[in-house]
Amino acid sequence: MTIISEKVGNTDKQSPLVTLDAHSIEMGFSPKIVGILCNWCSYAGADLAGSLHKDYPPNIRIIRVMCTGRVDPQFIMRAFAVGADGVLVSGCHPGECHYRTGNYKADRMISLLRVMLSQMSINPDRLLLTWVSASEAVKFSRIVTKFTEDLRKLGSLSK
């Protein structure tokens, strides 16, 4: 794998993003991710990541919903149907949903959908549910980076 370094001060610091890009070029595949984020926690966490320059791969396209409980399974299936290689659904931590139980509902829905995906010969690891609060910018950045790497290993869904 080609490693590209960037100079930071007097030391060579390897940027995970630069490495990821080099890996992407070598692998020839850059996954497309649809991120469905709740307004109150994960969207705010993603926004904070941007404000704090906590870089994450540009593979994700974010859709804001008021609550993960609002996510219809059809949103996810539609994302896969139109070319997404992975879907990330992210909301408030359990017990912190602004609509009380929306994230519990999303948790049950995602579990069922993952079983359905398996039956359709789609790797369920292409669908990820996470909890990210408004202050967890670093966590959001790490999740997107890891999910991108995992999808890169799985390859394109459309091939």
Q: Does 69 bind ligand FES (CB under 6 A)?
A: yes
Distance in Å, CB of 141 to ligand FES, minimum:
19
| Smaller CB separation from ligand FES, 59 or 90 | 90
Which residues are registered as beta bridge partners of 11? 8
Say if residues 92 and 131 touch (Cβ distance below 8 Å): yes
Length of the chain: 159
Distance in Å, CB of 103 to ligand FES, minimum:
4
3-state secondary structure of 84: coil
User: Which region, judged by CB under 6 A, interacts with ligand FES, from 12-20, 25-33, 64-72, 74-82?
Assistant: 64-72
Q: Does 43 bind ligand FES (CB under 6 A)?
A: no
d(CA 127, CA 88): 6
Q: Does 137 bind ligand FES (CB under 6 A)?
A: no
| Smaller CB separation from ligand FES, 23 or 98 | 98
Q: Give the residue nearest to ligand FES (CB).
A: 91
Q: Does 40 bind ligand FES (CB under 6 A)?
A: yes
Q: Does 89 bind ligand FES (CB under 6 A)?
A: no
CA nearest to 86, candidates 54, 45, 48, 117: 117
Say if residues 50 and 79 touch (Cβ distance below 8 Å): no
Which residues are registered as beta bridge partners of 64? 37
**What phi and psi, each to the nearest 5 degrees, are found at residue 71?**
-75, 120
At 71, the amino acid letter reads V
- Of the candidate residues 45, 57, 86, 91, the single one contacting ligand FES (CB under 6 A): 91
Task: State the DSSP code for 85.
Answer: S
Distance in Å, CB of 70 to ligand FES, minimum:
8
Q: Give contact residues for ligand FES (rule: CB under 6 A).
A: 38, 40-41, 67-69, 91-92, 97-99, 102-103
